[in-house]
Amino acid sequence: MPTFEDFGRKLDREIERLRELTTKKITPAARLKTAQSLRRMSEKLAQMAADIEAKVEPKADSR
């Protein structure tokens, strides 16, 4: 079963692949559209992270 760490590694590889693709094969106009799409995805990921954090119960202080 894949772990969250495995998912993170795969995501890192895909981000690097996307970076190479945009540098080598995409026109400047398409790069701008790609950047806009990535910003929208980033906003959605930030909202997902906030939703996940909101559902996590804070741990009691261990004093």
Closest CA to 31 of 42, 21, 46: 21
Question: What is the predicted pLDDT for the residue at 12?
Answer: 92
pLDDT band at 17 (very low <50, low <70, confident <90, very high): very high
Q: How far is CA 61 from the centre of its chain?
A: 31
pLDDT band at 62 (very low <50, low <70, confident <90, very high): low
Give the model confidence (pLDDT) of 18-58 as tens digits.
888 888 888 889 889 988 998 999 999 999 999 999 998 77
Q: What is the pTM of this model?
A: 0.57
